[in-house]
Every structure is written in structure tokens, then in C-alpha cells.
Amino acid sequence: MNYRMKKSPIDSIIIDLILEHYNMQSIDHRRPVLTDIEFDDIVAYAEELYYKKIMEETPIGIEGEA
């Protein structure tokens, strides 16, 4: 099978935030753990960042096409 999966723009934000979460725990010499509540918080924050980026980078009038 030779196909490409479409990549969601928000996925890379979520992955970066999760890596940052684990890195911060590593710096603090804590065991790397991601709870379901922390994951939900990361997803909500990533969504906020994504929509903010759209509003800042999309020309006025074509926001709905982004």
C-alpha cells in the first residue's frame, strides 16, 4: 500500500506540547507521566493556539476557508 495520510495542522502542536511536558518533567527529575487530565488540557491549549494562529495569519474575509 502506497498512500499518504493527511496531517492535521493541530497534531504537530499537540505533539510539541506533549514533548515539552515530558521534557519539563525530565528537567525536574520526575518520572515522565501524562495523565488524561493533562492530555485534555494540552489538547484544549493546542486548539486555542491553532485558532489564534488562524486568526492572525489568515487575511480578513477568508477565515472560513482556512
Q: Is residue 2 part of a domain?
A: no
The pLDDT tens digits for 14-32 are: 999 999 999 999 999 999 9
Q: Is residue 4 part of a domain?
A: no
pLDDT confidence bin for 56, thresholds 50/70/90 = confident
**All cell numbers assigned to 5:** 495520510
Number of folded domains that form the chain? 1
Q: Pick the closest to residue 38 from 52, 23, 22 (CA basis).
A: 22
Q: Is residue 3 part of a domain?
A: no
Of all residues in the chain, the percent with pLDDT exceeding 70 is 83
Q: Is residue 51 part of a domain?
A: yes
- Looking at residue 61, what DSSP letter applies? T
User: Which domain covers residue 36, as residue numbers?
Assistant: 9-65
Q: Pick the closest to residue 17 from 56, 50, 43 (CA basis).
A: 43
Supply the pLDDT for residue 64: 58
Q: Per-residue pLDDT averaged across 31-41, rounded?
A: 96
Do residues 45 and 17 lie in contact, with contact meaning Cβ atoms separated by under 8 Å?
yes
Supply the pLDDT for residue 36: 97
42 C-beta neighbours (distance < 10 Å), count: 19
